[in-house]
Amino acid sequence: MKNINKDEILQPNHLACPGCTAALSMRLALKALGRKTIIVIPACCWTVINGPLGKNYAGVPVIHTAFETTAAVASGIKASLSMQQKDDITVMGWAGDGGTFDIGLQALSGAAERNEDIIYVCYDNEAYMNTGIQRSSATPYGAATTTTPPPIQKDRPKKDLMELVAAHDVPYIASATTAYPQDLIKKFEKAKNIRGFKLIHLFVSCPPGHKSVESKSIIISKLAVETGVFPLYEIENGVYKLSRKPKFTDVKEYLSLQGRFKHLKDKDIEQIRKNIEKRWEKLNKKFEN
């Protein structure tokens, strides 16, 4: 067992829903990054979690900003700190999937292409949860949301964020989830010590949005990995490295724990299985190289 930093930077009484692993993700990320960290938070669940005016549960400086501006604001902070020779401060963008896959993608692409020395974190709960569960381009195939109610559930696969950012030739990209906390912490520690643009893609379980039981968030996150739905891997300077080889257990178990998939018919689940296979075929080729 790796020693986990005992310093609790995230403060208690934050406003996350019970069972939200977006809050747990922040707790673990800050254990890795330490107190010399500045966070940029766009419109997302964390706008609420961090508390209203006068509160700052993150425990490190936070700037709340416009939905689509995370990567650009973080770039500006880094430029300023660098002019002040405050190079020991980590600048982290902390955005949801809507703010990353959709509205913030342009600014993210700009910052990645410039190779800004920031850590961009997307905590991905696979829909616009803060506005009440609307589909985003991170919503997986088959999921019900308030804008994709069955039978018009989402019929397109999730956008591949890791590959999108990989196309920018940045030094570090990784996926992680709180079900594997040591892996998550290790990846944040690594990101902190690499200069240039870093992306960390976090799978986050959301009981109200996924229609799941609060106590099952970690199990769901674990199953996301073990079924192959959410691969844990790193792309370091273009080299792909698998962090954990999934057991490829039946995806049905993962789906059955979440009400957002309860309408799915056997043929839909078969399609999901095919999508997983297709994704892994592509990925395995990358791991081999």
Note the residues at the interface with another protein (CB under 8 A): 35-38, 40, 47-48, 50-56, 58-66, 68-69, 71-84, 89, 106-107, 109-110, 113-114
- The SS3 call for residue 217 is helix
75 vs 175, which CB is nearer to another protein?
A: 75
Q: Between the CA of residue 142 and those of 24, 113, 138, 221, what are the distances in Å?
A: 27, 33, 12, 18
Give the CB-side neighbour count of residue 184, counting CA atoms within 13 A.
Answer: 27
CB of 275 to another protein, least distance (A): 31
38 vs 174, which CB is nearer to another protein?
A: 38
Cβ-in-10-Å burial (0-12, 13-18, 19+) of 219 comes to middle
CB of 79 to another protein, least distance (A): 4
CB atoms near residue 266 (< 10 Å): 8
CB of 53 to another protein, least distance (A): 5
E strand intervals along the chain: 37-41, 62-64, 90-96, 119-124, 172-177, 198-203, 233-236, 239-242
CB of 256 to another protein, least distance (A): 36
CB atoms near residue 240 (< 10 Å): 18
Give the tokens for residue 259. Answer: 């009400």
CB of 261 to another protein, least distance (A): 32
87 vs 155, which CB is nearer to another protein?
A: 87
Which residues fall within 8 angstroms of residue 289, CB to CB, at 6 or more apart?
Answer: 240
117 vs 183, which CB is nearer to another protein?
A: 117
23 vs 143, which CB is nearer to another protein?
A: 23
CB of 81 to another protein, least distance (A): 6
154 vs 198, which CB is nearer to another protein?
A: 198
